[in-house]
């Protein structure tokens, strides 16, 4: 029998009482497209952007603003239409009504999908057309814009179908409203929540965990649900990097569409009212929820107490969480409190999996902390240097062919998986220093004594490393690295990679953008240099450029004798919507660059110019009044507290100190040194060059470390508890 | 015709329909009787193609009904607890069904609506329970399907309307190929309308008989015999379903034609002998008691 369910007459009849849906969606799209467009255009014209800039911004609107705003309405549309068309499956009365009609289930499915698309597409099309008209009226109409509008329409339709079929699948798989609502919430949040949980476990139990998303965790957290996948896709689409995700969306849409089709066609009418329609899905969902819940509750209990008893509470939490969530699911499944502990075998299975997962994290059975890719699988590494005190702060600058500049922050390690930014490259030296770094992690972590670090492991630098693999993947780790290995790694990086090139790239910026140079000298005082002599300022940077070109890794890792803070302003940036919006309206699209570089004794040209300023570039040039040394001792709990404080002011002592004081050296963990110069107003903290520390100071440091020195209650406490086991 | 062949349907651990076999002939009013939970609705839902039998098959004019739009197009199902889309009027429902049942008789629908004094433009949600049932019957009749499955449709109809519906069915059967199947837990409701009755109990079919046939072959006689010996002889000679004593009056329900039974009794020279009318209920009680069931406990 040929039914007429696709006829306009039938659609008109069945739309009775449902007209609110397209009307509601029309309002949504009206806000997302024409209203949003009018507001943006009004702002741009009002803010005196140039017409070329507005044109660029308007194009951007079709790839970013409309896409994102549209997604929110699409999500609402998919939810409303999916529920409206298939909600009847939760009522046996309605099921009898619809399923007694002389029409096959596949036909019914496609008819409902057709209505669902119609309710979405008509208001969408009207509002998108209205937006095009508004743009055209304001002078924005081109083939490129038309193409962008069509692409937006197609992409939104794809995303709508993905979200719509996800909703339909949930409804077809569940038998009552409670389960449907819970499963809908799970479909749109399970992946990100699971990703976050794994991430939390990794940060808690793995010493080398680095807080960034990559690999499976990135997929789970950013693309682990249909909505977040669409969101992630739009983020990438705005920057033209969407090919893979588009393919994923298409494939997933087809798969979920097929799954929802079969779930609907095969759904037994009599199953209405049950929690889950298909028995196998009950087990799968139970395990998918119970296992992470057990681990999650365990982690909460693990976090609550102090170090002592954590493991016991952790085990208790996992056990309680597993049993509780299993019981709740059983009660929801069977709508009977007496069934709380039914399916004991599955409970035991879930508990066993929770135990295995816990063991994997606790004992690092998968070798997370000892991971080091094989040399032949590595393409290169990136090293994060934000926390390395003796390294300089800088921004990377690159000049474009059109005279504009590209400026990058020094936070490159969180970038894309490809090797961008500070590529340290790869060499046998780098790899060998990485091996040493990985090897020193275990003894370092073992040195923790109830959360406090033991002697010999205090002076560690935290460095994140990105391993870029030849397979295209990236793996991140964060290491606690000792001075020796740190220097060894940096030396290898300077020699092999782009560290040096990128670090001093700012020296290629045209002089006209240079604003000022501030120097910090070995007495810790800072001054603006050559304020009234621009030629000298330019010459200083030219000298610095030559010195850095000649400097090798050993020089760049030496002890500095001065530092320069250089600032450039009004640098023209490349024309992009982001740059336009980040600039003041009506102003030229410009940016600024700063760099803080250290000057080493080998930088002869630079030092020669600095000498002309008269400021001290050697401690011999400094007139010391006294040196104050505070020794730090450990209390019973292992905290560092203030010990004895000595003031050294005799000429001999001051001469001894002049040989070892360096303003740029990080102070040792059990000594605190400050100096007062005759010209200075305040005491300034400094570090000591270890090899040159006078013997009498070393003797006191040993006394402090061996507990032979009395401690005082002090504000200065250094704890090393980062919560890790 | 509708052929139900050894159909079984189980819901979790409950066997709602158990190995049921039934033939529902054309142009007869088929009554499906059974207590609550006997499996009537399940059997009707399977016949309407809503649910699939676990085993066995249901054929509508020789073709399987489940997921067969051709077969389902010959059946209109009126459920016990019917659903009407929100804000729909009878006219909307007519438009809705018109797209599924291509032989829908629009004029007949309007005519019947007038005859039953139902307003086509009034929202169905404002109708009483009885009016909704009438509307469903009118829709079912107007749909032009060969089979009309009614689940407890007469429940809620007043006697006048019940009579009107019965007349409507009769006239439909007269004018075209039409076979209503009426499920009810109340035998009295079906007595004067059904040609054939199937009795369901605990998912199984106890009996399925033609009513006229049953009435022709079972009779109830009251008589007074002169001595006990003759009563014993009579009991042996007749296929007795039930014997009751009311003082000296003997009430015999026996299988056989009226002539056969009366001849046997008269041969015993009764002091008094008379055939009493049998209700459908009594026939069923007699039949099922013989089968070992206390039908009184099952139905009433």
CA angle A586, A592, A598 (to 5 degrees): 170
Nearest CA to A214 among A490, A493, A481, A469?
Answer: A469
Decide if B227 touches A, using CB distance below 8 A. no
Residue of B nearest to A98 (CA): B50
**Domain range summary for chain A, segments of one domain joined by +:** 18-277, 375-503, 506-611, 623-705
Residue of B nearest to A97 (CA): B83
Q: Which of A4, A104, A269 sits opposite B50 (nearest CB)?
A: A269
pLDDT band for A387, please (50, 70, 90 cuts): low
**Contact yes or no for B134/B165 (Cβ under 8 A):** yes
pLDDT band for A214, please (50, 70, 90 cuts): confident
From chain A, the residues in CB contact with B45 under 8 A are 96, 100, 269-270
Q: In which residue are the tokens 């059975």 written? A: A365
**The pLDDT of residue A719:** 40
Instruction: Measure the CA–CA gap between A423 and B74, rounded to whole angstroms.
Output: 75
Q: Which residue has the higher pLDDT, A174 or B298?
A: A174
A236-290 tens-digit pLDDT: 888 887 888 999 999 999 999 999 999 999 999 999 999 999 989 999 999 999 9
Q: Coil, strand or helix: which one is A167?
A: helix
A96-131 tens-digit pLDDT: 999 999 999 999 999 999 999 999 999 999 999 999
Q: Tokens at residue A422, please?
A: 């500070």
**Contact yes or no for B170/B186 (Cβ under 8 A):** no
Q: Tokens at residue A594, please?
A: 């700063």
Decide if A107 touches B, using CB distance below 8 A. yes
C-alpha dihedral sign at A505, A508, A512, A518: positive
Asked if the model's pLDDT at residue A81 lies above 90, the reply is yes
A583-593: average pLDDT: 71
pLDDT band for A37, please (50, 70, 90 cuts): very high
Q: Is A10–B11 a contact, with Cβ atoms under 8 angstroms apart?
A: no
Distances (CA, A) of B155 to B33, B124, B134: 13, 18, 11
Q: Is B88–A4 a contact, with Cβ atoms under 8 angstroms apart?
A: no
**Contact yes or no for A494/A656 (Cβ under 8 A):** no
Residue of A nearest to B41 (CA): A96
Q: Tokens at residue A358, please?
A: 């816990």
Asked if the model's pLDDT at residue A95 lies above 70, the reply is yes
CATH of domain B2-202: 3.40.50.300
pLDDT band for A455, please (50, 70, 90 cuts): very low
Q: Is B52–A268 a contact, with Cβ atoms under 8 angstroms apart?
A: yes
Q: Is B77–A96 a contact, with Cβ atoms under 8 angstroms apart?
A: yes
Q: In which residue are the tokens 């007495």 written? A: A523
Decide if B30 touches A, using CB distance below 8 A. no
Asked if the model's pLDDT at residue A350 lies above 90, the reply is yes
Q: Coil, strand or helix: which one is A695?
A: helix
Instruction: Measure the CA–CA gap between B294 and B292, rounded to whole angstroms.
Output: 7
Distances (CA, A) of A693 to A645, A657, A701: 17, 7, 10
Decide if B77 touches A, using CB distance below 8 A. yes
Decide if B86 touches A, using CB distance below 8 A. yes
Q: Which residue has the higher pLDDT, A487 or A508?
A: A508
Q: Is B83–A270 a contact, with Cβ atoms under 8 angstroms apart?
A: no
Q: Which residue has the higher pLDDT, A497 or A623?
A: A623
Alpha helices by DSSP H, listed for A390-529, are 428-439, 441-446, 483-496, 499-503
B4-45 tens-digit pLDDT: 999 999 998 889 998 999 899 888 899 998 877 888 999 999
A195-206 tens-digit pLDDT: 999 999 999 999
Residue of A nearest to B104 (CA): A3
**Contact yes or no for A572/A513 (Cβ under 8 A):** no
**Contact yes or no for A480/A444 (Cβ under 8 A):** yes
From chain A, the residues in CB contact with B49 under 8 A are 99-100
Rg of chain A over Cα atoms, rounded to whole angstroms, equals 33
How long is chain B?
Answer: 300
Asked if the model's pLDDT at residue A722 lies above 50, the reply is no
A133-183 tens-digit pLDDT: 999 998 888 899 999 999 999 999 999 999 999 999 999 999 999 999 999
Least confident of A308-317, A383-392, A495-504: A383-392
pTM of the model: 0.81
**The pLDDT of residue A342:** 86
Residue B163: in which H helix or E strand, if any?
A: helix B159-175
Q: Is A96–B72 a contact, with Cβ atoms under 8 angstroms apart?
A: no
- Which residues does A149 contact at the CB level (< 8 Å), separation at least 6? A62, A128, A131, A132
Q: Which of A16, A91, A99 sits opposite B50 (nearest CB)?
A: A99
Average pLDDT, chain B: 87
**The pLDDT of residue A593:** 87
State the smallest CA–CA distance between residue B274 and chain A in angstroms: 50
Instruction: Measure the CA–CA gap between B101 and B95, rounded to whole angstroms.
Output: 10
pLDDT band for B294, please (50, 70, 90 cuts): low
Q: Is A93–B82 a contact, with Cβ atoms under 8 angstroms apart?
A: yes
Q: Coil, strand or helix: which one is B11?
A: strand
CATH architecture for residues B214-299: 2-Layer Sandwich (3.30)
Instruction: Measure the CA–CA gap between B26 and B148, rounded to whole angstroms.
Output: 11
Q: Which of B45, B69, B75 sits opposite A104 (nearest CB)?
A: B69
CA angle B177, B179, B185 (to 5 degrees): 170
Q: Which residue has the higher pLDDT, B64 or A55?
A: B64
A381-401: average pLDDT: 71
Q: Tokens at residue B164, please?
A: 């009107």
Instruction: Measure the CA–CA gap between B246 and B242, rounded to whole angstroms.
Output: 13
**The pLDDT of residue A381:** 84
**The pLDDT of residue A633:** 83
The string of DSSP codes covering B78-96 is E-TT----TT--HHHHHHH
Average pLDDT, chain A: 86
Asked if the model's pLDDT at residue A208 lies above 70, the reply is yes
C-alpha dihedral sign at A549, A555, A561, A566: positive
This complex has an ipTM of: 0.88
**The pLDDT of residue A84:** 94
DSSP state for residue A614 in the 8-state scheme: T
Decide if B103 touches A, using CB distance below 8 A. no
Nearest CA to B116 among B54, B51, B148, B160?
Answer: B160
Q: Where are the beta strands (DSSP E) in A540-663?
A: 562-572, 590-599, 624-634, 640-648, 661-662
Residue of B nearest to A7 (CA): B99
State the smallest CA–CA distance between residue A99 and chain B in angstroms: 5
Q: Is A107–B50 a contact, with Cβ atoms under 8 angstroms apart?
A: no
Instruction: Measure the CA–CA gap between A90 and A569, rounded to whole angstroms.
Output: 65
Decide if B50 touches A, using CB distance below 8 A. yes
């Amino acid at each position: 029998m040929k039914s007429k369910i696709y006829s306009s007459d039938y659609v008109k009849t069945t739309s009775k009482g449902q007209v609110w849906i397209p009307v509601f969606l029309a309002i949504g799209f009206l806000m997302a497209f024409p209203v949003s467009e009018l507001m943006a255009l009004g702002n741009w014209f009002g803010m005196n952007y140039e017409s070329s800039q507005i044109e660029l911004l308007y194009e951007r609107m079709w790839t970013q603003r409309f896409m994102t705003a549209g997604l929110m309405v699409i999500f609402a549309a998919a939810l409303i239409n999916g529920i409206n068309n298939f909600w009847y499956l939760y009522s046996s009365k309605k099921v009898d009504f619809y399923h007694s009609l002389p029409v096959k289930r596949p036909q019914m499915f496609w008819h409902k999908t057709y209505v669902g698309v119609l309710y979405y597409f008509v208001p969408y099309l009207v509002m998108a057309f209205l937006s095009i008209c508004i743009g055209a009226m304001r002078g924005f109409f081109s083939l490129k814009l038309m193409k962008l509008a069509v692409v937006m329409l197609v992409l939104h339709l794809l995303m709508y179908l993905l979200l719509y079929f996800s909703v339909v699948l949930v409804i077809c798989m569940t038998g009552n409203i409670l389960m449907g609502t819970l499963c809908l919430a799970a479909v749109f949040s399970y992946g990100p929540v699971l990703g976050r949980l794994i991430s939390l476990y990794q940060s808690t139990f793995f010493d080398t965990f680095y807080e960034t998303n990559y690999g499976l965790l990135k997929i789970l957290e950013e693309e682990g649900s249909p909505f977040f996948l669409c969101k992630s896709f739009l983020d990438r689409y705005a920057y033209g990097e969407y090919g893979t995700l588009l393919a994923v969306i298409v494939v997933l849409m087809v798969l979920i569409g097929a799954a929802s089709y079969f779930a609907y066609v095969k759904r037994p009418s009599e199953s209405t009212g049950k929690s889950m329609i298909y028995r196998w899905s009950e087990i799968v969902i139970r395990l998918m929820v119970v296992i992470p819940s057990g681990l999650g509750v365990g982690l909460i209990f693990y976090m609550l107490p102090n170090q002592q008893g954590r493991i016991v509470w952790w085990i208790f939490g996992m056990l309680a969480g597993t049993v509780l969530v299993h019981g709740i699911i059983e009660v929801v499944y069977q709508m009977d409190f007496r069934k709380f502990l039914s399916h004991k075998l599955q409970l035991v299975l879930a508990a066993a999996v929770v135990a295995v997962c816990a063991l994997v994290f606790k004992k690092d059975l998968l070798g997370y902390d000892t991971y080091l890719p094989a040399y032949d699988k590595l393409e290169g590494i990136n090293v994060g240097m934000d926390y390395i005190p003796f390294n300089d702060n800088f921004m990377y600058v690159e000049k474009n062919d059109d005279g504009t500049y590209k400026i990058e922050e020094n936070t490159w390690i969180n970038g894309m998986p490809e090797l961008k930014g500070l590529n340290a490259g790869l060499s046998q030296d780098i790899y060998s220093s990485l091996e040493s770094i990985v090897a020193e992690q275990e003894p370092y972590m073992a040195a923790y004594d109830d959360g406090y670090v033991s002697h010999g492991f205090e002076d560690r630098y935290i460095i994140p490393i990105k391993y870029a693999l030849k397979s295209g993947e990236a793996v991140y780790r964060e290491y606690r690295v000792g001075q020796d290995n740190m220097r060894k790694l940096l030396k290898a990086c300077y020699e092999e990679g782009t560290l040096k090139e990128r670090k001093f790239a700012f020296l290629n910026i045209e002089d006209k953008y240079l604003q000022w140079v501030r120097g910090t000298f070995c007495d810790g005082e800072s001054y603006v240099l050559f304020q009234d002599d621009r030629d000298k300022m330019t010459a200083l940077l030219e000298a610095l450029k030559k010195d850095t070109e000649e400097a090798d890794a050993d020089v760049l890792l030496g002890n500095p004798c001065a530092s320069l803070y250089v600032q450039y302003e009004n640098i023209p940036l490349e024309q992009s919507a982001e740059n336009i919006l980040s600039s003041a309206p009506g102003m030229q699209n410009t940016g600024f660059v700063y760099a803080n570089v250290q000057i080493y004794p080998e930088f002869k040209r630079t030092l020669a110019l600095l000498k002309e300023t008269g400021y001290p570039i050697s401690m011999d040039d400094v007139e010391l009044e006294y040196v104050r040394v505070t020794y730090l001792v450990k209390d019973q709990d292992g905290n560092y507290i203030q010990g004895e404080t000595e003031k050294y002011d005799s000429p001999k002592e001051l001469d001894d100190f002049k040989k070892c004081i360096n303003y740029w050296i990080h102070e040792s963990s059990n000594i605190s040194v400050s100096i007062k110069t005759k010209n200075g107003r305040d005491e300034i903290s400094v570090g000591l060059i270890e090899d040159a520390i006078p013997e009498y100071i070393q003797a006191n440091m040993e006394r402090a470390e061996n507990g032979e020195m009395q401690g005082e209650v002090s504000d200065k406490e250094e704890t090393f508890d980062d919560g890790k086991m | 015709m509708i052929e139900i062949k050894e159909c079984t349907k189980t819901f979790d651990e409950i066997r709602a329909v158990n190995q049921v076999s039934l033939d529902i002939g054309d142009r007869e009013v088929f009554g499906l009787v059974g207590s609550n939970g006997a499996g009537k609705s399940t059997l009707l839902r399977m016949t309407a193609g809503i649910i699939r039998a676990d085993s066995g098959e249901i054929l509508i004019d020789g073709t399987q009904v489940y997921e067969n739009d051709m077969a389902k197009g010959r059946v209109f199902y009126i459920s016990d607890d019917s659903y009407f889309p929100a804000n729909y009027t009878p006219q909307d429902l007519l438009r809705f069904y018109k797209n599924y049942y291509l032989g829908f008789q629009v004029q007949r629908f309007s005519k019947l609506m007038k005859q039953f004094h139902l307003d086509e433009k009034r929202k169905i949600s404002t109708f009483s329970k009885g009016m909704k049932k009438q509307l469903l019957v009118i829709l079912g009749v107007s749909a032009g399907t060969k089979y009309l499955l009614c689940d407890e449709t007469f429940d809620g109809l007043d006697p006048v309307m019940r009579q009107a519906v019965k007349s409507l069915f009769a006239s439909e059967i007269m004018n075209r190929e039409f076979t209503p199947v009426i499920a009810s837990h109340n035998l009295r409701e079906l007595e004067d309308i059904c040609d054939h009755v199937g009795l369901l109990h605990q998912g199984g079919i106890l009996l399925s008989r033609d009513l006229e046939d049953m009435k022709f072959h079972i009779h109830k006689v009251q008589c007074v015999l002169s001595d006990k010996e003759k009563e014993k002889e009579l009991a042996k000679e007749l296929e007795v379903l039930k014997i009751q004593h009311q003082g000296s009056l003997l009430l015999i329900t026996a299988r056989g034609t009226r002539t056969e039974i009366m001849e046997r009794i008269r041969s015993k020279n009764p002091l008094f002998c008379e055939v009493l009318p049998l209700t459908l209920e009594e026939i069923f009680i007699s039949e099922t008691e013989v089968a070992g069931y206390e039908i009184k406990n099952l139905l009433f």
